[in-house]
């Protein structure tokens, strides 16, 4: 069967769904193809944190992009909620990062100082102030930094909303429709192929998460995106063990709107193996109860794992693929795809519409990986 669209997007996680929504909003005809079910890979596995200050270790384009992404969230969420009619559970009520020893306290103090110099509102808290904010916090926490503007969202609801809103704007989605290959003439992709259909197109976006490198390889393009496994636990059985996101030296806790606390996460280089492990579960339980000792008695409601799309320099890969005039990537968002995916989608759609890519940091360009 042969069909057509202005833009075919390979992958319906948050990155692909955001591109689809933003392109459809600008009047493009869009086909979104997913190998499985939309939003059910890394996007479903995430903790939903929107925390660029807490996550970033240094000044640079990642921090700037992350802060821009965070600040764009409230307007996007209003727009999507109006379109789909359900709550995306955006809660920007702050992140507390704590230290258990002097070495970590020093590192926290330094980060707090340079981020404040950049004008961000961060509050240094002593041990008593930390526990005032989080009464169940371990008494071994000696100090912390509270970042009041950060928070979290339901990543599952957000992904669903982006897909539904894209479809409402005229995009078409096909699930269980993995991209298998491309038809090209010189430096142009003219069609995208699945097992059942060929989609003629004016442009292609590779947004296949951890598998983006494999797809780019079919175009002869080097895009070294690798899977980085993260395991998570959903803990329940206690009323409000934490009120804010709490980060410790070896894990974090995210209170979700449904009353569960997500405890994360491992960072593992194990290829495409997406299973949870007993060792992973043990580590997450230990990290959670180190932060809030009562969580040692919590019930594990679910355990799961996902594959983050990592790159060698931990920066995303957003932009035109070298050697092609109409093939693009929106991937490599690694630990921050929920935060960054919507902004990447908007900037890719704007750039594809205008031809001006200057709003996307040059450091994120896929050409940085060279050709082989
Ligand atoms: C445990 C864990 C916790 C995390 N926590 C956070 C967090 O708190 N905050 C945050 O910002 N980020 C977080 N992340 C990172 C975030 O989840 C990812 O960066 C983000 O979801 C990546 O989105 P994506 O759309 O690129 O990839 P994915 O969500 O993996 O989507 C890619 C899609 O492409 C499809 N696909 C693959 N191959 C093909 C093909 N050949 N053809 C068509 N489709 C294909 C897949 O089926 C999939 O649906 C976390 C990740 C993990 C694993």
- pTM for this structure? 0.97
Could you tell me which residues come within 8 angstroms of residue 103 by beta carbon, excluding any fewer than 6 positions away?
none
pLDDT of residue 4: 77
Q: Would you state the pLDDT for residue 121?
A: 94
- Does residue 335 have a pLDDT over 70? yes
- The string of DSSP letters for 80-114 reads HHHHH-S----B---EEEEESSHHHHHHHHHHHHH
Residue 330 CA: nearest ligand 1 atom is 26
pLDDT class for 156, splitting at 50, 70, 90?
A: very high
Q: With the C-alpha atoms ordered 80, 85, 89, 93, is the resulting torsion angle positive or negative?
A: positive
Residue 1 clears pLDDT 60, i.e. is over it: no
Q: For residue 239, is pLDDT > 90? A: no
Q: Which residue, among 249, 139, 170, 200, has the nearest Cα to 8 in the 3D structure?
A: 200
Q: Hey, what domains does the chain have and what are their CATH numbers?
A: 2-54+156-225+312-369 (3.50.50.60), 92-150+227-310 (3.30.9.10)
Mutate to test the pocket of ligand 1, among 10, 12, 13, 345 (most ligand atoms within 8 A of CB): 13
pLDDT of residue 270: 98
Exposure string for 243-252, b = 16+ CB within 10 A, e = fewer: ebbbbbbebb
Tokens of 230: 């993260």
Average pLDDT over residues 356-370: 96
For residues 131 and 169, what is the distance between their CA atoms, to the nearest angstrom?
47
Helices (H), the chain: 14-25, 42-45, 52-55, 61-84, 102-117, 127-133, 155-168, 212-217, 278-291, 337-354
DSSP type of residue 321: P
Angle at 77 between CA 315 and CA 327, to 5 degrees: 40
The pLDDT tens digits for 11-68 are 999 999 999 999 999 999 999 999 999 999 999 999 999 999 999 889 999 999 999 9
CA distance 274 to 369: 26
- pLDDT band with cut points at 50, 70 and 90 for residue 3: confident
pLDDT band of residue 372 (cuts 50, 70, 90) is: low
Determine phi and psi for 157, rounding to 5 degrees: -70, -35
When computed from its CA atoms, the radius of gyration of the chain, rounded to whole angstroms, is 21
Q: Dihedrals φ, ψ of 244, to 5°?
A: -125, 170
> Residue 2: its pLDDT value, please?
62
328 vs 201, 304, 353, CA distance in Å? 13, 31, 13
Pocket of ligand 1 (CB under 6 A): 10-16, 33-36, 40-43, 45-49, 178-179, 207-211, 215, 230, 232, 264-265, 306, 308-309, 331, 333-339, 341
Pocket test for ligand 1, best of 173, 197, 335, 342 (most atoms within 8 A of CB): 335
- Calpha distance 353→348 (Å, rounded): 8
For residue 255, pLDDT beyond 60: yes
Determine the Cα–Cα distance for residues 129 and 16; give it in Å rounded to an integer: 42
The per-residue pLDDT of the chain, averaged, comes to 96
With CA atoms as reference, report the closest residue to 49 among 164, 162, 163, 149. 149
Distance CA 201, CA 324 (A): 14
CA distance 39 to 293: 34
For ligand 1, what atom is nearest to the CA of residue 331? 26
User: pLDDT category, 238, cuts 50, 70, 90?
Assistant: confident
What are the pLDDT digits (tens) for 82-135?
Answer: 999 999 999 999 999 999 999 999 999 999 999 999 999 999 999 999 999 999
Q: Which residues touch 239 (CB under 8 Å, ≥6 apart)?
A: 259
């Amino acid at each position: 069967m042969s069909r057509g669209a202005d833009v075919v997007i390979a992958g319906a996680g948050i990155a692909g769904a955001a591109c689809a929504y933003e392109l459809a909003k600008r009047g493009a005809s869009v086909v979104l193809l997913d190998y499985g079910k939309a939003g059910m890979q890394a996007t479903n596995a995430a903790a939903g944190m929107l925390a660029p200050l807490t996550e970033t270790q240094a000044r640079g384009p990642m921090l700037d992009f992350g802060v821009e992404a965070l600040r764009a969230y409230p307007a996007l969420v209003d727009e999507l909620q109006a379109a789909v009619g359900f709550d995306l559970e955006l809660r920007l009520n702050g992140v507390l990062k704590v230290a258990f020893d002097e070495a970590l306290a020093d590192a926290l103090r330094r980060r707090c100082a340079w981020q404040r110099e950049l004008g961000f509102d961060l509050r240094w808290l002593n041990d008593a102030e930390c526990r005032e904010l989080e009464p169940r916090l371990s008494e071994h926490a000696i100090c912390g930094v509270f970042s009041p503007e950060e928070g979290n969202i339901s990543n599952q609801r957000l992904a669903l909303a982006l897909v539904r809103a894209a479809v409402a704007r005229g995009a078409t989605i096909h699930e269980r429709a993995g991209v298998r290959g491309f038809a090209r003439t010189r430096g142009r992709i003219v069609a995208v192929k699945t097992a059942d259909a060929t989609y003629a197109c004016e442009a292609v976006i590779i947004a296949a998460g951890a598998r983006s490198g494999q797809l780019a390889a079919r175009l002869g393009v080097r895009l070294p995106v690798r899977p980085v496994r993260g395991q998570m636990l959903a803990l329940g059985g206690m009323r409000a063990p934490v009120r804010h996101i709490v980060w410790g030296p070896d894990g974090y806790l995210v209170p979700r709107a449904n009353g569960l606390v997500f405890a994360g996460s491992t960072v593992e280089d194990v290829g495409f193996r997406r299973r949870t492990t007993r060792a992973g579960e043990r580590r997450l339980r230990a990290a959670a109860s180190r932060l809030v000792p009562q969580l040692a008695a919590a019930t594990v409601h679910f355990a799961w794992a996902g594959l983050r799309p990592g790159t060698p320099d931990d920066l995303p890969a957003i932009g035109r693929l070298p050697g092609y005039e109409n093939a693009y990537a929106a991937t490599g968002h690694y630990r921050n795809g929920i935060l960054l995916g919507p902004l990447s989608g908007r900037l890719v759609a704007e750039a594809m519409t205008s031809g001006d890519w200057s709003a996307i940091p040059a450091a994120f360009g896929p050409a940085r990986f060279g050709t082989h």
